[in-house]
Structure 1
Amino acid sequence: MIRTLLIANRGEIACRIIRTARRLGIRSVAVFSEADAGAQHVLLADEAHPIGGPRAADSYLRTDRILAAAKASGAEAIHPGYGFLSENADFAEACAGAGMIFVGPPPAAIRAMGSKAESKRLMELAGVPIVPGYHGEAQDEATLVAAAARIGFPILIKASAGGGGKGMRPVLRAEEFVAQLAGARRESKAAFGDDRVLLERYLQKPRHVEVQVFADTQGNTIHLHTRDCSVQRRHQKVLEEAPAPDLPPALRARLHEAATAAAKAVGYVSAGTVEFIVEGDDAFFMEMNTRLQVEHPVTEMVTGLDLVEWQLRIAAGEPLPLPEAPAPRGHSVEVRLYAEDPAEDFRPSTGPLRQFHLPAPAADLRIESGVVQGDAITPFYDPMIAKLVAWGPDRPAALARLGAALAECRIAGIASNLGFLGRLVGHPAMLAAELDTGFALRHAAVLQPPRAAAPPLALAAAALEALLPPEAAPENPWDRRDGWRLQGAGSRLVVLAEGEALHRLRLVPAGAGWTGDLELAGRRLADGILQVVLEGVAHRVPVLRDGSAVQVSLPSGAWTLRLVDPHAPVGGEVAAQGRLAAPIPGRVVQMLVAVGEAVSRGQVLAVLEAMKTELRITAPADGVVAHVGCAAGDSVEEGAELITLVAAG
């Protein structure tokens, strides 16, 4: 068995690998960027080495620095996790050249399956069905336009070198193709350093079903059943489950057989995932991920296996621990908790996790996270905060367990998709397993409702936060907040700003509470919880105060309200009407307008890349560009002025 293992990754997967290594008696070595100096995987490892700046290109993608850390630590093997260099054949070769074991498949298999075009060709030769499309080497625009016309619209553009939805664009009409092609190429180049694409027929209601495969160095290959990963946003998975529900037995058997054939066709070793597009009784090969997947815990929950342990044993030259897959037991569902705002088209969110509580792990609930309360979500990496994985004897029980776990979560300080996930796992169509890759978009009205105005309970909680003394009660009587006066009770005016709307609440002390615009009482409990008594009904409400901002979390959603001094001069905080600012730190990849240019409402003015996502900055109204504050290629901080518009005429 391997004695010392270096983990060339970060976050929850690095923590997971370290824990398995420790259980097996393997010494673990972590690497970290400047942004991750205090990260959980660094604290958990037996040894940790700095490898560069906060950007992945300066640290987690630096083969030379990772190998130097491995050599300095005496590591015998390197586990790449997922993402970063995990599917990089050159990195696998460099590990071998340095005399270290790469915990993964051979470089030839990575190359064969890393190119979507080449993998499609190999699968076709192996008899695995593929989606009709264009996988050729010619990449000039004219060739691709002609190929798209031949395949017929709608069509899907995919990055040849990529995964995770990067460089993937559905195109419904021919006139949109050239613009979407440019966007897909740009995104692919930024994510993978390669702008080659392939084209495929865009199926209307496909399911994303995958098969976990494993192979050893003795030539043995097995499957470990199916997973369904159809629920996605921006072509990235949000919910995964195992086994894939409602597959006809004959189709399930064909998927197992095709996945095993795909692995054998490229001489595969270690863990891999063969992904299929399934529509009706038809299944087409989509791609093979030559690494461990984010969603591997659902397979572990229904098989009772540790797939990281399997990887390490196979890397050490051992045969597969089992000759065939054990029968799946029960059902498992996983969701990915992201730092993003579903109400803003899943825009990533950055900042400190000022409040972060997850339910306690149990036999039927697995929690995987690389952060704790107080850690920061930075703009440099994927915004996933945690994975919640539930098990049940059947699918309804697993979904119910997951829903209960999500209800226990509390997050404040950043935006998250927690509410979205809660609505998702309880949606009638989810309970009925009516799954396809358009699920989230089709049910967006329920899953991503427009941001509603703050309800009375949210206003009451924010007002109570302003009225109650701090947790350490002040000794100075002049600091009292109860409106006490020498002659009769005085009133308090609490002004709460919700965007541009102002809520003015006049409250008068009455017994242990207040009356007036609200019948309100309450007290502070532990861990940032207020007991809010509104109109006689008591509620437990998580509240986070950050300066003048008060974030209130309710089962129906979260609202941030700002405490406004009612005596402050008006206008000091009013922003310029046409000032368009960067919503998060990022890099400007396109500036599409110039000073003096007339623009119309909804027109895309600039494209910002941040946290592996392209954000389009659009005009909020018709106008004229008065100022451009940056250029393509510039790095910008959150709040930096991008463009200023003025009214036409």
Structure 2
Amino acid sequence: MKKDADNYLANPQVHKDRRLGLGTSAWVQSFECSHLRPLIICRGPIRKEAMDVFDEMGIHHYGILLSEKDSIVYQNALAPELRKLTDPHRVHRVPDYSGADKAEREVRIRQIINIARANNYNAIFTGYGFMAEDENMVKAMEDAGLNFIGPCSRTVHQAGLKDEAKRTALRVGVSVTPGVDNASALTLIKKYPSLSALKNLAAEEKLPVDVEQLAADGLALVDIADAVLAASYAKGIDLYSIAELGETIREQVMAMSREYPSNRIRLKAIGGGGGKGQRILASPDAYQGDLPSRIEQAAAKAPSLVLEILNEVKTTGKGDNKNVLVELNIETTRHQEIQVIGNGDWALAMGGRDCSLQMHEQKLLEVSVITEDLEAALAAAQAAGNEHEAKVLAQDIVTLQKMEEESERFGQAVGLDSVSTFECIVDRDKHFFMEMNTRIQVEHRVTELCYGLRFSNPDNAKDFFQVDSLVEAMVLLAAHGPRLPKPTRQLRSQAAVEARLNATNQALQPHAGGIIEKWSDPVAGEIRDDQGISMHNPDTDVFIKYHLAGAYDSNIALLLTTGAGRADSYQRLAEILRVTELRGKDLATNLEFHYGLVNWFIGNNINARPTTRFIVPYLTAVGLLKQAANNVDLHYAYQSICRQRIKQVASDDASWAQVLERKHLLLARPVEKLLAEPHLLAGWLSLNQKNFDLTNDRVIWRVNPIKVLAETYHYLNMDYCAQKPAANMIWASDDKILQQALNFYQSLENKLGAMAYSELNALLESSAPVQFEPSQWQAIQAAHRGYQAGAELLNLPAFLGQSTGYFNLAVNADLSIHIPESLTEPKLQQAMAKILVPPPAAKSDEILAPTGGMFYAREAPGMEPFVMKGTHFSAGQPLYIVEVMKMFNKVNAPFAGTIDEVLVTDDGAIIKKGQPLFKITPDEIRVEESSADARARLKQGTDAFLATLGGAH
């Protein structure tokens, strides 16, 4: 149950922290769990983690459920867990995990029960898949006599369904977001607006609901409607249509917009999660006209979004609970969540996590938020005299403690008997409860790396055991819940952070189909949860290729580390990302994005408080960097710098030309890589902004450019290493020059004493100091000019940052982030996404698939296609839907035109990136840039940079 934390971090291949067996006392031994025989019915990193935990707990009779999609359909896509679990009798196959609709889910539930009974399993572990929060599934497992490792069905009903959770929160005094949680009941009342109408409806449909008794008990009409709806779900019938529900929600959106005309409105399925089943309506301010007209325009999109939501969470079938929540979208929100654990009697909060760094409701970077770290940061801010920062940190401590207290109160109210997550949105000094996820979450390790749980014998405080794994805690609660005393949390690490490594392109759009051919091993301090993808062939010790087929979500792995504080944890994560090498065929991941993002925070302020709206403007700023980089010719710039330098020295042109030629690739190669990889450039600029001043568009270095050059090679993981391929590192001849330069300046500093680079530079332009002979000083001056020759090329990245306004995306004194208004403009955001990931090259008469996935021509089964042969479409009009890694993405036309031929006709067809989908006639013929125009564009952009150097070119 507990290993030494240092050993745990020092051995990244075994990223586990449980001790085999328990202590020797009878009380501790009574919590032994080897009698459990679990069937794991989830996938992803949590499946491999559960296997490891079970093994270490002495639970060896476990099996896994395997979907055809991650077992046999795609070449090289065999579930990597099978590299460890080689016993075929413990591997059980089903078509998929959860089924496409209610009927299929019921079939799958029966299959799972039959598999468990036939193979002597007595427990079920669902991880963080959607089955984990399916009340019907949990209840079926309980009724079948299987021990469900997770919250019970009562808790799932009261807390897992978002409408029920909101009502419970209101009842126990938990702050909630303004909104409507009973749109389905309001829809029913519109059709049956009286008590007698509801009574007649229940009688006609033979629903077991005593409407008169409910009224006598004092229930309001809307609550009685809820009871009637609950009975209809149980019977599997519909009492209203999706269109009727959409109209109710449209009306509710209009009513809320009248009260909050500047806010957007969020629509959310009651059974969604992980970003699925949510859409945000634009605010009325985004439309033209008077306020009533703008409100009507904003609300008009609600019905179609309701249909999208229900399709995405697969609740369009008969008898499905189709309720959709209507909530005020808090625009400046930070997304924070509290890990909470309970046994049905007690509930304990285990600190928080900040999950604000997300896009499309998908979390990207998650960081611990615990009292101990906040208090240390507060003390440091106070000591440094940062009053604004100290005020924010002090408020964060108060907010965290309030959220923890509310999470425990809510957990007890719903009878929480396992591990769950209490999710909140935080707006400055206010917070609102969003939902409780009645399952373990992807980012649970962020919490368990900070806190362990000590369970003490009530009769003997010295008799205890510690649990450092939340999966293990879930097993203990499933096996011995009522007997487990309330634990105390034990600090393990001051801070932890997790980066979700996803199969996405540079613009963070899902990118399915790539094959991982090489992945460097984890390094010291790295905790990598990757399902076993990194496991080598046990016989040959060779990495095994893995196909990211895209049948499920885009997550590849979770990369975690800890630190003595948030800054330390970010520094460690940056180092992990720096040295990670991940290569393959048609492979796109967000590895470079994470490296750039983490370094943005390190370079600006590690305590910055980003909101959930930060990532898209940040990506837009990165896109602007890439656009600017595309408009410069690096080698033309260096040649111009060389000509100017030779002109300045006037004598011995040949020797200077030779020096500059030798240094060409030493200086150009790292800058070329920065310009080619915009996320690397963004991180470099963030780290180096303290190393230069920008005065009248000129770059004045505070740090010796030669040191910056060496650090840049290190930042890019291009340090010299004899075992590395030459293409991936500094060349040996260049490294020799660089080391000579570094040694020269180190020797000079040793003799002159440490001084700022500006002072050293000025001194080297003057006469010899007393400790040097004039001839010796002249040689030193010549060496300095030689080593600095051509280093002006390092000004180029800084120039791009300045010219694009990259540094305007900055942290304010109160830790909020200043986002320039231009970065929030949708048109610019869309344009920069295309700069980061240019669309596939196409003929002027074709529209190509921007990514692989599953093609749908229509909004929902039975509806007309978005476009057909002969349809004239406008720019921005929906053309089709592509499902990529569980997310439904509506693809809009990039320009106006007419459909001449539909090339993909079957809904559910698999399409590939770059595949022609439609033959079209555009309204306007796109003009391709000529090579002459491209050269002129590059020269113009490069000349703008050269002008800042003050020389002719």
Q: Would you call these one fold, judging by a TM-score over 0.5?
A: yes
Match of 2:898, SS state, is strand
Paired AA for residue 627 in structure 1: E
| Partners of 2:498 and 2:558 within 8 A in 1 | yes
Deviation per CA, 1:451-493: give whole Å up to 9, x if none.
Answer: 76599999xxxxxxxxxxxxxxxxxxxxxxxxxxxxxxxxxxx
Q: If each structure's helix is expressed as a fraction of its own residues, which one has the higher value?
A: 2
Cα distance 1:19–1:603, how it changes in 2: closer, same or farther (>3 A)? Answer: same
Equivalent in the alignment of 2:530: 369
Equivalent in the alignment of 2:351: 225
Equivalent in the alignment of 1:624: 898
Equivalent in the alignment of 2:265: 155
Q: Following TM superposition, by how much is the alpha carbon of 1:538 offset from its aligned partner in structure 2, in angstroms?
A: 6.4
Provide the rounded CA distance (Å) in 2 between the counterparts of 1:525 and 1:627.
Answer: 56
Name the % identity. Answer: 27
Paired AA for residue 368 in structure 2: A
Give the structure-2-normalised TM-score. Answer: 0.54
Matches within 5 A, 1:540-619: 576-582=843-849, 583-588=851-856, 589-590=858-859, 591-619=865-893
| Partners of 2:250 and 2:302 within 8 A in 1 | no
Q: Following TM superposition, by how much is the alpha carbon of 1:430 offset from its aligned partner in structure 2, in angstroms?
A: 6.0
Q: If each structure's strand is expressed as a fraction of its own residues, which one has the higher value?
A: 1
| Partners of 2:70 and 2:551 within 8 A in 1 | no
Q: Choose from 436, 441, 457 the match for 2:616.
A: 441
Matches within 5 A, 1:38-117: 38-45=78-85, 48-53=90-95, 57=99, 62-117=108-163
Match of 1:347, SS state, is coil
Q: Following TM superposition, by how much is the alpha carbon of 1:525 offset from its aligned partner in structure 2, in angstroms?
A: 8.0
Matches within 5 A, 1:479-558: 530=727, 537=734
Matches within 5 A, 1:286-297: 286-297=434-445
Q: Following TM superposition, by how much is the alpha carbon of 1:69 offset from its aligned partner in structure 2, in angstroms?
A: 2.5
Q: Choose from 425, 428, 441 the match for 2:598.
A: 425
Matches within 5 A, 1:450-461: 450=626, 453=630
Paired AA for residue 283 in structure 1: H
Q: Following TM superposition, by how much is the alpha carbon of 1:574 offset from its aligned partner in structure 2, in angstroms?
A: 8.1
| Partners of 2:247 and 2:303 within 8 A in 1 | no
Provide the rounded CA distance (Å) in 2 between the counterparts of 1:369 and 1:455.
Answer: 39
| Partners of 1:169 and 1:180 within 8 A in 2 | no
Cα distance 1:214–1:529, how it changes in 2: closer, same or farther (>3 A)? Answer: farther
Cα RMSD over matched residues? 3.1
| Partners of 1:185 and 1:196 within 8 A in 2 | no
Deviation per CA, 1:571-597: give whole Å up to 9, x if none.
Answer: xx9853332233212131444222222
Structure 2 unaligned residues grouped into runs of 5+ = 1-32, 72-77, 188-244, 258-262, 285-294, 317-321, 375-392, 453-467, 535-543, 636-675, 677-719, 737-799, 801-839, 860-864, 925-953
Paired AA for residue 21 in structure 1: F
Cα distance 1:142–1:188, how it changes in 2: closer, same or farther (>3 A)? Answer: closer
Q: Following TM superposition, by how much is the alpha carbon of 1:142 offset from its aligned partner in structure 2, in angstroms?
A: 3.1
| Partners of 2:855 and 2:880 within 8 A in 1 | no
Match of 2:358, SS state, is strand
State how many pairs are aligned.
Answer: 550
Deviation per CA, 1:157-203: give whole Å up to 9, x if none.
Answer: 11122111212122223323332542343233332425431111111
Equivalent in the alignment of 2:672: none
Cα distance 1:410–1:180, how it changes in 2: closer, same or farther (>3 A)? Answer: farther
Paired AA for residue 394 in structure 1: G
Equivalent in the alignment of 1:379: 550
Give the structure-1-normalised TM-score. Answer: 0.78
Cα distance 1:124–1:603, how it changes in 2: closer, same or farther (>3 A)? Answer: same
Matches within 5 A, 1:191-340: 191-193=313-315, 195-217=322-344, 219-243=345-369, 246=393, 247-304=395-452, 305-318=468-481, 319-320=483-484, 323-327=487-491, 329-340=493-504
Corresponding position: 1:144 with 2:307? no
Deviation per CA, 1:551-589: give whole Å up to 9, x if none.
Answer: xxxxx9xxxxxxxxxxxxxxxx98533322332121314
Q: Following TM superposition, by how much is the alpha carbon of 1:536 offset from its aligned partner in structure 2, in angstroms?
A: 5.5
Cα distance 1:604–1:189, how it changes in 2: closer, same or farther (>3 A)? Answer: closer
Q: Following TM superposition, by how much is the alpha carbon of 1:644 offset from its aligned partner in structure 2, in angstroms?
A: 1.7
| Partners of 1:116 and 1:160 within 8 A in 2 | yes
Paired AA for residue 6 in structure 1: L
Cα distance 1:624–1:302, how it changes in 2: closer, same or farther (>3 A)? Answer: same
Provide the rounded CA distance (Å) in 2 between the counterparts of 1:534 and 1:135.
Answer: 63
Provide the rounded CA distance (Å) in 2 between the counterparts of 1:648 and 1:348.
Answer: 30
Provide the rounded CA distance (Å) in 2 between the counterparts of 1:221 and 1:270.
Answer: 9
Superposed structure 1 runs of 4+ greater than 6 Å apart: 58-61, 454-458, 523-529, 532-535
Q: Following TM superposition, by how much is the alpha carbon of 1:312 offset from its aligned partner in structure 2, in angstroms?
A: 0.4
Provide the rounded CA distance (Å) in 2 between the counterparts of 1:281 and 1:592.
Answer: 45
Paired AA for residue 577 in structure 1: S
Cα distance 1:358–1:207, how it changes in 2: closer, same or farther (>3 A)? Answer: farther
The structure with higher relative contact order (CA 8 Å, sep 6+) is: 2
